[in-house]
Amino acid sequence: MNQAHLSKDRLDAAAAQFNKDGFVVIPNALSSSQLKHLNAAFDRYYQDFPQEWAHFSESFINTADVLPRTSDFDEVIENPVVLPLMQKLLGDKVAFEELGLMIRNPTDNTGELKGWHRDIIRDYDRRHEINAISVVYYLTDVTESDHCFSIIPGTHDRLIDVRPSDVTSDMAVDAHGPAGSAYVFHARCIHAGKLRTGSAQRRTMHLYFERYGEPRTNQWTQIPPRLYLKDDPQLPPYLYAKAAVRATLDGVGRKPRDVPPDMTTAQMLLHVQRRANQKATPT
């Protein structure tokens, strides 16, 4: 495991940039050995649990409930390069919320994206309720020719009144970087994926953290006993405490109640997307 830590000066600088812009990039958050291990684990999970992957399109493949089936990704939650920043930003009650894996395959259909949005709650009038922080780990290099994450700086705070529909392309900052980079952003910041023809496959891991004492942000990620029963004084005391929290924020992370109980998480995610698309389509 990568045992490198950010120095106090780098940690303070990262927190200051995050508070100003709503995002910060942490280079070399994963070591080369971690990248090798995590990409191999990614391959295994894709091969061993095909039913757990939601194929939203030829390009967009996602899985959201990984932890009950493998411990291969636990080290990323506890990454000593990034976790201290989560503690600094969220305080002593920092708590893990969610871990998902995403594949963006090469595609010529660059118009398939859902567009600019805020995470967790789509209702503009409830944007102040969004307090989670996301960490996106790049498992592959992301160059200017590849699919990338794009964000509108400051829309978590000083530009909080900007609507996703008001965004223009010149406002955006694209996130490029080598494999191993961690892209930390406030879930209230307006962002989107950006697709490019000729892109290589992009692999990312998506984690969310919030504060213990608040409702969970999602019902997609289960936190298994090996994590919530862990007794490690080196970890934040509430890191896995949300395993016992049943209240969930009313937003996109809440499972629909009118679906068959035997649906897999992947099937449910596809169902939710179809329903959202139907609502968005004019009649």
**Within a domain: 3:** no
pLDDT (tens digit, 9 = 90+) per residue, 181-239?
A: 999 999 999 999 999 999 999 999 999 999 999 999 999 999 999 999 999 999 999 99
Domains: count for the chain: 1
**Within a domain: 39:** yes
- Find, among 19, 23, 20, the residue nearest to 181 by Cα: 23
**Within a domain: 1:** no
pLDDT band of residue 283 (cuts 50, 70, 90) is: very low
**Within a domain: 166:** yes
Count CB atoms within 10 A of the CB of residue 110. Answer: 13
**Within a domain: 235:** yes
pLDDT band of residue 278 (cuts 50, 70, 90) is: low
Average pLDDT in the chain: 93
Report the alpha-carbon distance of residue 144 to residue 5 in Å, rounded.
28
pLDDT (tens digit, 9 = 90+) per residue, 225-246?
A: 999 999 999 999 999 999 999 9
Q: How many CA atoms within 13 Å lie on the side-chain side of 271?
A: 13
**Within a domain: 182:** yes
Report the alpha-carbon distance of residue 201 to residue 106 in Å, rounded.
6
**Within a domain: 108:** yes
Tokens 């996106």 appear where? Answer: 136
**Within a domain: 94:** yes
Boundaries of domain holding 66: 8-280
pLDDT above 70: residue 65: yes
pLDDT band of residue 256 (cuts 50, 70, 90) is: confident
CATH of the domain at 145: 2.60.120.620
0.85 cut: is pTM over it?
yes
- Find, among 227, 218, 189, 202, the residue nearest to 77 by Cα: 227
pLDDT above 60: residue 3: no
